[in-house]
Amino acid sequence: MLADTIKRIERQYEIKRNKADALFIADKKAVYDKAPKLSEIDKERTKWGIQTARLSINEKSAENVKAVEELQKRILDLKNEKEKILKEMHIVLAPKYDCLKCNDTGYILKDGHSEMCSCMKQELLNDAYNKSNMHNLQNENFDNLDLTLFSNIKEESKYKSELSPRENIEKIIKVSKQFINNFDDPKEKNLLFTGTTGIGKTYISSCIANDVLKKGCTVLYQTAPVLLDSIFSYKYNSNNSKELYDNLFSVNLLIIDDLGTENLTAAKFTEIFTILNSRLLTPNTKTIISTNFSLEELSKMYDSRILSRIIGNYVICRFFGEDIRLKH
């Protein structure tokens, strides 16, 4: 099943790459029609390149070495001339691939070996987990967050904080950006978002996911109930791929939303503990947990083992304020 999925996605990549290459060829023709000199430069560079290759194969006499150096200088001069023309035209002539790491091939060369690019790994995750709940990320970023939706009025008795909701969200954004910037640092802690619904937890999680994806990492976003259903579906359904289960432990960023809303049983508790504990021990992985419950309420739902993992290894961000969804 996984092999069939990979082949299907590889075909999608091939189609995407071919489309980008075709657009590049059309763009290049249009540019060269406007500036015929570019075509002449290309022909000259090709001619000198062939001559350089021939001389390099021959005996490396002092005369040949000097001739190669002269030809290489001519080629460099032509390259600079071409770049100058394109700069004056305000044009960057290159294929527009979605992924600059693999140029939409799905694979990169690492240590002399071909391996799957992070973008294809993410496509496999999206395919396996129904788009990983991340199809609206383009619009969910820190730049689009309207801070005026959060009150700047301090109400300590109401919110149990000396900060206003706006000051608090600004503080959480700062913590989130530090998390993103230090994502590869094993010392950087995970994140726990607590607070009632409609006060920005899911939005901030999506902003982080967006930026982590841009770093070339893989992200999986699931609610706790769906995540646990997936685990038990794998364990009790032989048709489900082990790859799906393994992703929960190996994906670079796992975002678990709505922790505490699952119908908790001893078996489900064990699975949650296993995931959280294993990810703490797995290199290059981070976890964000989002819940509508307070830490005190969670302590009544879960065994102390889970709470100790969270308290010791997560930065706790408490969201508070009015439901911002009502202000749109």
323 conformational bin, left if phi > 0, alpha if psi -120 to 50, beta if neither:
beta
Residue 2 or 93, more confident: 93
φ/ψ of residue 152, rounded to 5: -100, 15
| Pair type for strands 219-223 and 314-318 | unpaired
103 conformational bin, left if phi > 0, alpha if psi -120 to 50, beta if neither:
left
* Mean pLDDT calculated for residue range 115-130: 82
- Would you place residue 300 in the very low, low, confident or very high pLDDT band (cuts 50, 70, 90)? confident
- CA–CA distance from 74 to each of 43, 46, 65, 66, 82 (Å)? 13, 11, 14, 13, 12
* Mean pLDDT calculated for residue range 288-293: 94
Distance, in Å, from the CA atom of 306 to the CA atom of 225, rounded to the nearest integer, reads: 17
pTM for this prediction = 0.74
- Would you place residue 132 in the very low, low, confident or very high pLDDT band (cuts 50, 70, 90)? low
Q: Residues, the chain, total?
A: 328
